[in-house]
Amino acid sequence: MTISLESLQRSLMDAVFDEAALQPALQRFAEYCGVPIVQLMFADGDRNLLQSSFSVEIDPEMAAREADFQAINPRVLAIPMMEEGKATRDKDFITREEMDRDAAYQELILPLGFGYFSGVPIINSADLTAGIALHRPLSDGAFDDEEAARHERAAAACAPVFHFIRHVDNLQAKSALAFAGDTVAAAATDLTGRVVEFNAPFEALMRKGLVSVLGDQTIGFDRSAPGRHLARCVAAGGGRFAFRLGRDGDAPWICTVTPAPRLQGAMPHANGLLIRLVPAAEPRPLDPVLLEQAFGLTSAEIDVAQHLFSGRTIAEISPLRRVTEHTTRSIVKRLLEKTDSRRQAELILRLTPFQVV
């Protein structure tokens, strides 16, 4: 049965919503191009692999070594010179004699059966490289111009799917920040920890020079230790640590790293992390929606509850709200009744689970 370009596009789009459909889609791509192995690849701006999937089962131990050779793999090093939509082959960046001496070819590429290569980047920007590569043994010979052209046609048919995936990535980062809200300094990252979106409170810390987003490091603090802790949390897919911004006497902060909310069915690489920075000396804001749902609190009661939770007294709250102390005491009384609390200390304990995460 002849495979059409339209069917290649449909099968790859199916894989966006069903990970089990990815390998069959790549197998169809391999059949169309007449090669034994097809590779789908996503990498960040520093060429760190976000995802590498194949049309056939690969020795897991050998495949796991792919990332180890990233820094010296000639095929990876050639990515900046590759043109979107155009096939790049081994002959474009390495000679046959150099292949015989190159460590990546001898220890990884050739043992995997990836003798000759044709790679078409569909997206090759400063922050993302994504494309499809063809591989076959040395005994099958290098890819000729006709085969490269066929590869380019197949990649062009699948280009809309790649741009859709990128849109999903951007949407996910925005949804992660929406989940964090705008009361906590937060940033959404890709799987390597590279910041792709941040909210206004996070930007305010950047403007003060307390936090910086760097090209070779996710987030820079004033000290090296927080950077190491953050890298550990990113590698583990989550975690928490305390740190200080600025002078030694400043109050500590808590950094929480969690998996970002994932859009159902997106490809494995379309997944990132949510980083939240909260002053440890100050209680986190209370979630007004949860308070209304749990206790039926009014906006005035929620406002007073937030002030109490922040450690303010009735005498301090009243001028801030431009009301009398009598009015504030009446609201506090209603808060105690609605939360089934006997005193303010008990009220604070009942409010603690309703902090913004």
Query: What is the CATH number for 199?
Result: 3.30.450
> Could you tell me if 347 and 304 lie in one domain?
yes
**Distance between CA 310 and CA 135 in Å, rounded?**
61
**Distance between CA 243 and CA 255 in Å, rounded?**
8
Q: What is the CATH number of the domain that holds 76?
A: 3.30.450.80
pLDDT of residue 216: 40
At 218, the pLDDT band (50, 70, 90 cuts) reads very low
pLDDT of residue 1: 58
Q: What average pLDDT does range 19-44 have in this prediction?
A: 92
> Could you tell me if 29 and 163 lie in one domain?
yes
> Could you tell me if 134 and 19 lie in one domain?
yes
> Could you tell me if 252 and 296 lie in one domain?
no
Considering 169, 185, 210, which residue would you say is the last residue of a domain?
169
> Could you tell me if 66 and 133 lie in one domain?
yes
pLDDT of residue 297: 94
pLDDT at 217 over 50: no
Number of structural domains in the chain? 3
Instruction: Tell me the C-alpha to C-alpha distance, in Å, between residue 128 and each of 89, 113, 165, 179.
Output: 20, 27, 11, 24
> Could you tell me if 24 and 115 lie in one domain?
yes
> Could you tell me if 147 and 203 lie in one domain?
no
Residue 261, CA atoms < 13 Å, CB-side half-sphere: 10
**Distance between CA 240 and CA 256 in Å, rounded?**
5
> Could you tell me if 256 and 292 lie in one domain?
no
Residue 168, CA atoms < 13 Å, CB-side half-sphere: 21
> Could you tell me if 163 and 179 lie in one domain?
no
> Could you tell me if 131 and 184 lie in one domain?
no
- Tokens 């909310």 — which residue? 261
Six-digit token string for 243: 């740190």
For residues 272 and 188, the answer to whether their CB atoms sit within 8 Å is yes
pLDDT at 26 over 80: yes
pLDDT of residue 215: 44
Residue 130, CA atoms < 13 Å, CB-side half-sphere: 21
Rg (CA), the chain: 27
Six-digit token string for 351: 């409010």
Considering 110, 143, 169, which residue would you say is the last residue of a domain?
169
pLDDT tens digits, one per residue of 233-273: 777 777 888 777 665 556 777 888 887 766 556 566 666 77
Q: What average pLDDT does range 99-120 have in this prediction?
A: 92
pLDDT of residue 357: 63
> Could you tell me if 107 and 240 lie in one domain?
no
Q: 108: domain range?
A: 5-169
Considering 153, 169, 185, which residue would you say is the last residue of a domain?
169
> Could you tell me if 14 and 160 lie in one domain?
yes
Residues 6+ apart with CB under 8 A from 249: none
pLDDT tens digits, one per residue of 151-168: 999 999 999 999 888 877
Q: What is the CATH number of the domain that holds 306?
A: 1.10.10.10
At 326, the pLDDT band (50, 70, 90 cuts) reads very high
pLDDT of residue 100: 92
φ and ψ at 129, to 5 degrees?
-120, 130
pLDDT of residue 267: 67
